Structure 1
């Protein structure tokens, strides 16, 4: 199967008006592995295809603290910890995005609201994220429902700041929207935030079955990219369906 290459923009296109939902994403860990695009394609919403770099698709394990969530610029919805498994997509209009294959969060009200309103695959889970004085970020997740028993554990050592992100680092982090299947259509949700301030990192340990649980396997257990960021503040806005 042929897959066209695309180039991500380092900055988001502007939103028209204030976003209806904002979140403060903090202490974010990004771990990515190469994966065959033909593995990814069946997992994507209709009318999208794998977004590839140098002919390769990528699967990411991303963990962060959503320190705060605010609706309509005034209604606080609280914070939570999240761990997601994600791949990358492009639709027939050329819009590049993220497809979340799993999203574990430790706030039941956020899980229920997001599943109802957006169709995103949020799951109520026990999620713990820790930082140590020597720059190690550690995390663990244990799924409650659905998918009870799925779990993961990781430790990442944060290193030097990145002053000029590489094409791969842009590709994996400069994502200004997401695709999700909802209400019989592939929906496109816009995301805007400042470029991630990035640091290089090393994966010290990963164990678990988070990737296998979504139907993906990697041939090389060594990640091709490990990054950390202190965080950004993001705005999210739904747009029209890609297609029904």
Structure 2
């Protein structure tokens, strides 16, 4: 199922994305990380990727945030009409055999219907109604897919800034995402500044995204981080990096 990494992943980006396909900011982001047995996650990840573990445990993370100033690289963020919208990812941690680590998305909820076009490169986008709001020190994330299910409501109160330990960096810092398309594994690189992390207290956590993805109840209560976000995200062009051998896969 994949062993623990020999050392912590890099806190800053592992590569430069010199010719980005897209620029954006990922703001007001909360990370909710649940531990699972590796075999419980393995069935949700295609052959051709190894489920990564930390201290013998696989992790799945719910990450709601604000996707800000999404634009092609030639358009400045200050141009009127550049979209900002809520997005929520459900993701796990993987590695290509003998290759580099990254993320596998179990689902991506998005409030911008135009982003559903990213399904063309295999990203599992689902349009829905999503919101991010603040009241005092509390931040609330609410969302549901069109049709009403699955859904989530998360409310957190960010704490003091933290100096990330190895596990904190391992859970939050990944520099590529994998998708599948046309029977192949695709890799999308990403570059941004290090996450400024704080701890966070959960006031409300009610969600059905994990069960909709096929996950059982987790092994323990979640680890939670909050970040004001990163403003200089550069997403590279997806590229095929190898075939997939998932039985019955027709994508």
Same-fold call, TM > 0.5? yes
* Alpha-carbon distance, 1:79 to partner: 1.9
Q: Tell me the residue number matched to 2:122.
A: 119
Match of 1:227 among 213, 221, 225: 225
Regions of 4+ moved over 6 Å: none
Partners of 2:37 and 2:219 within 8 A in 1: no
Q: Tell me the residue number matched to 2:142.
A: 140
1:53-75 alpha-carbon deviations (Å, 9 max, x no partner): 00111111100001111113228
Alpha-carbon distance in structure 2 between the residues aligned to 1:132 and 1:206 = 17
Q: Tell me the residue number matched to 2:132.
A: 129
RMSD: 1.7
Alpha-carbon distance in structure 1 between the residues aligned to 2:15 and 2:168 = 22
1:96 maps to 2:97: no
Q: Tell me the residue number matched to 1:14.
A: 15
Any idea what SS the aligned residue of 1:168 has? helix
* Alpha-carbon distance, 1:3 to partner: 2.3
Partners of 1:105 and 1:125 within 8 A in 2: yes
1:70 maps to 2:74: no
Partners of 1:22 and 1:73 within 8 A in 2: no
* Alpha-carbon distance, 1:38 to partner: 0.7
* Alpha-carbon distance, 1:29 to partner: 0.6
Alpha-carbon distance in structure 1 between the residues aligned to 2:142 and 2:165 = 29
* Alpha-carbon distance, 1:43 to partner: 1.2
The number of residue pairs the alignment matches comes to 236
* Alpha-carbon distance, 1:239 to partner: 4.7
Partners of 2:17 and 2:235 within 8 A in 1: no
In the superposition, relative to structure 1, how do residues 100 and 57 fare at CA in structure 2: closer, same or farther (>3 Å)?
Answer: same
Alpha-carbon distance in structure 2 between the residues aligned to 1:52 and 1:5 = 5
Any idea what SS the aligned residue of 1:238 has? coil
1:45 maps to 2:46: yes
**TM-score when scaled to structure 1?**
0.91
Unmatched 5+ stretches in structure 1:
none
Alpha-carbon distance in structure 2 between the residues aligned to 1:236 and 1:66 = 13
Partners of 2:118 and 2:125 within 8 A in 1: yes
* Alpha-carbon distance, 1:18 to partner: 3.1
1:162-201 alpha-carbon deviations (Å, 9 max, x no partner): 1x20111100111000111112211111011111000110
Unmatched 5+ stretches in structure 2:
244-251
